[in-house]
Structure 1
Amino acid sequence: MAVGLRSRFERVKEKVRLHGDEAQHEQTDQWSNRDLIPLPPSRRTWGWFHYYGFWTLSSLNITNWQTPSSFLTQGLSVPQSLAIIIIGRALIVAFSTLIAWCGLKWHIGFTIQNRYTWGLRASYIPLLQRILLNFIWNAIQCWNGGRLAAVCLTAIWPSFARMGNFLPESLPATGDQFIGFVVFWFLSTPLLWIRPEKFKTPFLFTTIYSALGMIAIMIWALSTAHGAGPLLSTGVALPEGSKWNVSWLLMAGINQTIGGITAGITNGSDFSRYARNWRAYLIGTITSGWITGILVCLVGLVTTSAAQKIYGEVFWNPPDLLMRMMENGEGSSAARAGVFFLAFGFGLTSMFENICGNAVAGGIDLAGLWPHYINIRRGAIITFIAAWVVQPWQLVNRAVTFIQVLSSFSVFLSPMIGLMAVDFYLLRGRKIRLSHLYSSKNSSYWYWNGVNWRAIVAWICGWVPTIGGLVVTINQDTNAPRALFELYFMAFFIGFFTSAAIFFGLNKLFPVAGMGEYDEVDIYGTFTAKEAEKLGIIPVEFQTDAYDSGEPSLAQETVERKE
């Protein structure tokens, strides 16, 4: 009987095991599967509009709409708040491009990119951090998206807003909030089956719909209020007794702006590797990641200001404003219809942003943990199911400080970005040996038992100076030393440059073999003939000719030497 169970288990195990097309170099083993190998030209389908749509998802959303509020409530003026947004988003585009270039040139993602810096085994350190963040942010995005779903349900059935709470009192959520979460989660699920190569249509639809919706609500607010309202004329009004001057608040605002999207910066290569060429990435990223992001903040500011004139109070959160516009479902049918389509646009953007930025990104990271059994789609499904385990209603409605900790996770991620940048550009001269990233045998990236201690030391040194500021900020300890807060206000830049400098120094003092080396042949069929020529690599076409002639190719010889 035991033998039969073991045999059945082996059959099930083999059935769920992933298998790639060996002819396309899609080997599946401890370090590799179809979604982890360098992407071949046939799978690089993203043009400039894909990246425009990708960045638009992080621009045309509730969070970006609300961005100016945090700066105005600290006492800064409207021009100063907009200056923070302009500078902050310019830095986001710059750092994102810096990290994404590895994917543009070598067509590998974050999961593989860290192997040559940390070592094949130690690369699980940044990987596990990203997986944890993907799990939690996916859950929180589903919960926030559920609020928009609740607005849509109220617009259709006004009685939904008056629903009695059927949940236990011990649960920090109401029945309508929970139903909205369930609806949003289930409607998002089918999007998990769309492969990143096929994202163009969803990008196109969500970009147009959401942009028109935001413009429509701004026009309505301006025409109803007969002007922009008083909020736009807000001047500098620092709280009485404030210990921070304008300069420090500007610095903290820039750090907060870039820190809020640090997780997205780290995985830039996950999506840049799908680019047809580097121009497509740059055009889409600059036009949307910078310009559109700034415009959305401006639209949110104008709409909120006009709405204040209409209702006599400030609504920074779009779901709250939409509910007020239809009088919590008691408004006219025309008002409810308009609100429904506006909320649907916001919700659609949140839905696909969550799928792309959290679920798919989480799927890629999970694939790096268990390549034998997890690909992007399976990993994305696991990430999405984890929303029920994380229980976002507990986090969002009860643990406000926990959300602040997540937003401040850039303290740990910015040093990681510093390592990635200095290693790729200064130490390796943008040259990588792809074949050594997928094998522990005779790999230059194995270091000591798969661990590059230099990376670990440099990473720790990057976040140690700012962790104190994070702790006192979370604890709201106003009596803590001023220096801790000042370091924390510059956490991203301190972490980035400290880790980068220390890692560079350690590599010069304790050099490692293989720096600047790369495969002389295109073993994985990764490059076009033009790319191979530019890199000085023998292209796959030449290797094919050698196979046809019966002579061993350089690729064969290289693999044989490696083995």
Structure 2
Amino acid sequence: MEGSLKRRLRSLNETVRLHGDESQHEQTDSWSNRDLIPLPAHRRTWEWIHYFGYGAYLSISTWQTPNAFLTQGLSVGQSMLVIVVGSLLVLLFSVVIAWCGLKYHVGFTVQNRFSWGLRASYIPLLQRILLNFIWSAVQCWTGGKLAAVCITAIWPSFATMPNFLPKSMPATGYEFVGFIVFWVLSAPFLLIAPEKYKLLFQLTSLYCGLGMLSMMIWALATAKGAGTLWTTGQTIPTTSSWDSSWLIMMGINQMIGNFAAGLTNGSDFSRYSRNWKHYVGGTFLSGVVVGVLVCFCGLVTTSAAQKIYGDIYWNPPDLLMVMMDSGRGSSKSRAGVFFLSFGFALTSMFQNVCGNVIAGGIDLAGLFPNYINIRRGAIITFVAIWVVQPWQLINTASAFINVLSSFAVFLSPIMGIMATDFFLLRHRKIQVSHLYRPYDSSYWFWHGINWRAIPAWLCGWAPTIGGLVVTSNGADNAPRAVYQLFYMAFLIGFFISSIVFYILNKLFPVEGYGKQDEVDVYGAFTTSEAVKLGIVSITDAIEGKEAGEEKNKTQERSVNAD
């Protein structure tokens, strides 16, 4: 009986375990699997247009960005200045962090191993997994509101449905049904491999972009002008402790912080790019050009809508409901709202799956490579949305999203360590094969831990954690310096951790600086890439080995004949 149970368990384990294709050098063990090893050329299919969808700039969250800065008292011009400067800095940090993925085709999970050590790399990895769980849930709940608008446009009575949820639950039946519909319709995207996203990126980006442009044109035509919000000047209260300079600094920090979660795992998606030009060009066009234009469209549309309806509607689902009078409007208005909300919802679905759920799958694969690949990890992240219960987070904590964005306090030091190690210490050279084995590895350090990374990370967020605490609690009586440090949290964390990590590594140097593999063990590089890196492709290495063996055999036969 006991022997039979053991056989069944072994059989189950063998069924659940992942198996790589050895002919494609897909090593599967406790440190690697098909989705963690360097991405081979045939899987690097993303072009510049793909980064419109991945970057999530064509989204309702970008549309609402100016609201945060206008509410703080900045003028329209100052708000747009924050958006432009913030977008350029996001571009800069995204390229710096993602460059390792562009050059060596490895993702965030593996990239941290040469800085933290194979075991200590779980510290940044677990932070990313937690954020992926939360952001996936939050974005799914937000997308559910768009789904609810779509349903209302088809069946107007849906907007007035009785609330079937208990009073203890901080949500309405209307919101909950929209959330379920959005979650269910997002599921099919999980079945698509990231390298095959091309058509979906093109469709959703085009649909959403045209929808936003149409919405702005309609608002301007109906209002016969942009409205008074567009001409709003600086409105900082005289009782405010902060002048425009500090509010602009805070806005820029907030802009970068909103994208911090995506910046850290930039290499997860840059490695899918055909080459660096597609990534940099696509990120610039989507993040700087389109991102600024979407903010502009949101500002103009909201201003014109204020002139039409008398109230300010920054949230597109709310404005769409007003446009069709909560379903009681004409069939023409309901049809227009349906196609707009459907386009926004479809884009939100795909962006959430790609930027949060798939990213969560990649990170989970790093925890259990033997059993979890991207698809399995994505499914776990997708199911975890219900565990997180976003209706509790969003509807019961007004400052929750701001606090979540402020998690950059912990992420920016991680990025500082990543950038410093790769560019300044290792001079963009790493031993890729050493990232996947604990034995005889330059990145094993002390029991798998590079102790230098831990104090560097702690020093990065120590000066700004106080600001995060008082801000999340809504306190306004803390020392002024606490808030000032928090308003610069991203830059402070990034550069302090960079400097501390650099100094520690110079005082206590490690092995492997400036070294890289002599042979492309995983067959990830094209011939031109291998030549540029100065390494031998695995095909040439095998052929050279076989030629050497044949030469030795010939010499042996010659000696024997003599």
Match 2:415 to one of 417, 440, 443: 417
Give the Cα–Cα distance (whole angstroms) in 2 for the partners of residues 536 and 107 of structure 1: 16
8 Å Cα contact 1:414-1:495 kept in structure 2: yes
The residue type equivalent to 2:298 in the other structure is G
1:47 aligns with 2:47: yes
State the distance in 2 between where 1:337 and 1:132 align: 39
Find the counterpart in structure 1 of residue 462 from structure 2. Answer: 464
2:116 to 118, 133, 138: 118
Aligned partner letter, 1:402: F
**Per-residue CA shift, 1:173-199, capped at 9, x if unaligned?**
110111000000000000001101001
Query: Is 1:88–1:257's contact at 8 Å kept on the other side of the alignment?
Result: yes
1:287 is aligned with what amino acid?
L
Structure 2: how far apart are the matches of 1:46 and 1:149? 29
Q: Aligned letter for 1:20?
A: G
* Residue aligning to 2:560: none
Matched residue type, 2:170: P
> Which residue in the other structure is 2:554 paired with?
none
The partner residue of 1:358 within 335, 356, 359 is 356
- Whole-Å separation in 2 of the counterparts to 1:277 and 1:480: 48
Corresponding residue for residue 71 of structure 2: 73
User: 2:461·2:493 contact (CA, 8 Å) conserved in 1?
Assistant: yes
1:429 corresponds to: 427
Q: Matched residue of 1:465: which SS?
A: coil
Task: Give the distance between the partners of 2:451 and 2:389, measured in 1 at CA.
Answer: 36
Alignment of 1:244-263 (within 5 A): 244-263=242-261
Deviations 1:232-276 (A, max 9, x none): 100011023000000000000000000110010001100111111
Deviations 1:518-555 (A, max 9, x none): 101111111111111111111233124225436399xx
Provide Cα deviations, 1:155-178, integer angstroms capped at 9, x if missing partner. Answer: 000000000010111111110111
User: Which aligned pairs between 1:470-509 and structure 2 lie closer than 5 A?
Assistant: 470-509=468-507
Secondary structure of 2:106's counterpart equals: coil
**1:317-396 matched pairs, under 5 angstroms:** 317-396=315-394
Task: Describe the superposition over 1:13-50 as per-residue Cα deviations: whole angstroms up to 9, x where unpaired.
Answer: 11111000112110110000000000111111112222
Alignment partner, residue 128 of structure 1? 126
Which secondary structure state, in structure 2, belongs to the residue aligned with residue 400 of structure 1?
Answer: coil
TM-score if structure 1 supplies the norm length?
0.97
Kept in 2, the 8 Å contact 1:415–1:497? The answer is yes
Q: Is the 8 A contact 2:52 2:58 kept in 1?
A: no
Corresponding pairs, count: 551
Cα shift at 1:404: 2.7
Q: Are the equivalent residues in 2 in contact too, given 1:319–1:343 (CA < 8 A)? A: yes
Give the deviation of 1:217 after TM superposition: 0.6
Letter in 2 for 1:551: E
| 2:309 alignment counterpart | 311
Measured in 2, the distance between the counterparts of 1:544 and 1:290 equals 46
What is the aligned partner in structure 2 of residue 18 from structure 1? 18
Deviations 1:284-319 (A, max 9, x none): 111111100000000000000000000001000000
Deviates more, 1:492-501 or 1:471-480: 471-480
Residue in structure 2 matched with residue 138 of structure 1 by the alignment: 136
Q: Match for residue 446 of structure 1?
A: 444
Residue 561 of structure 1 corresponds to which residue in structure 2?
none
How far apart are the structure 2 equivalents of 1:210 and 1:409? 28
Question: Superposition pairs for residues 204-223 of structure 1, below 5 Å?
Answer: 204-223=202-221
Alignment of 1:176-255 (within 5 A): 176-255=174-253
C-alpha contact 2:109 2:362 (8 A) present in aligned 1 = yes
Residues 113-134 of structure 1: CA deviation (Å, up to 9, x unaligned): 0000000000000000000000
Residue identity in the other structure for 2:256? I
What is the CA–CA distance in structure 1 between the aligned matches of 2:177 and 2:472, rounded to whole Å?
31
Amino acid of the structure 2 residue aligned with 1:475: N
The 1-side partners of 2:457 and 2:400 are apart by: 23
Q: What is the alpha-carbon distance in structure 2 between the residues aligned to residue 150 and residue 173 of structure 1?
A: 13
- d(CA) in 2 for partners of 1:475, 1:488: 14
Per-residue CA shift, 1:370-426, capped at 9, x if unaligned? Answer: 000000000001000000111111101112333332111000000000000000000
Counterpart CA distance in 1 for 2:328 and 2:232 is: 33
CA contact (8 A) 1:307 1:315 kept: yes
Q: Is the 8 A contact 1:546 1:552 kept in 2?
A: no
Counterparts in 2 of 1:298 and 1:552: CA distance versus 1, 3 Å = farther
Q: Secondary structure at the match of 2:49?
A: helix
Distance in 1 of aligned mates of 2:209 and 2:282: 16
Report the equivalent of 1:284.
282
Could you tell me how far apart the structure 1 residues matched to 2:79 and 2:401 are?
Answer: 23
Q: Take 2:20 and 2:119, find their aligned partners in 1: how far apart are those partners?
A: 23
Q: What is the one-letter code of the residue matched to 2:313?
A: F
Could you say which residue in structure 2 is the equivalent of 1:156?
A: 154
Aligned mates of 1:514, 1:182 — CA distance in 2: 50
Residue 5 of structure 1 deviates from its aligned partner by 2.5
Shift of 1:106: 0.5
Quote the residue 2:9 is aligned against. Answer: 9
Counterpart code for 1:483: A
Alpha-carbon contact 2:53-2:351 (below 8 Å) kept:
no
Q: Is the Cα contact below 8 Å between 2:48 and 2:281 reproduced in 1?
A: yes
Alignment RMSD: 1.2
Find the residue that maps to 1:430 and give its secondary structure. coil
The one-letter code sitting in structure 2 at the alignment partner of 1:29 is D
Distance 2:7 2:164 in 1: 47
Which SS does the other structure have where 1:75 is aligned?
Answer: coil
Equivalence for 2:170 = 172
3-state DSSP of counterpart to 1:59: coil
Unaligned runs of 5+ in 1: 554-563
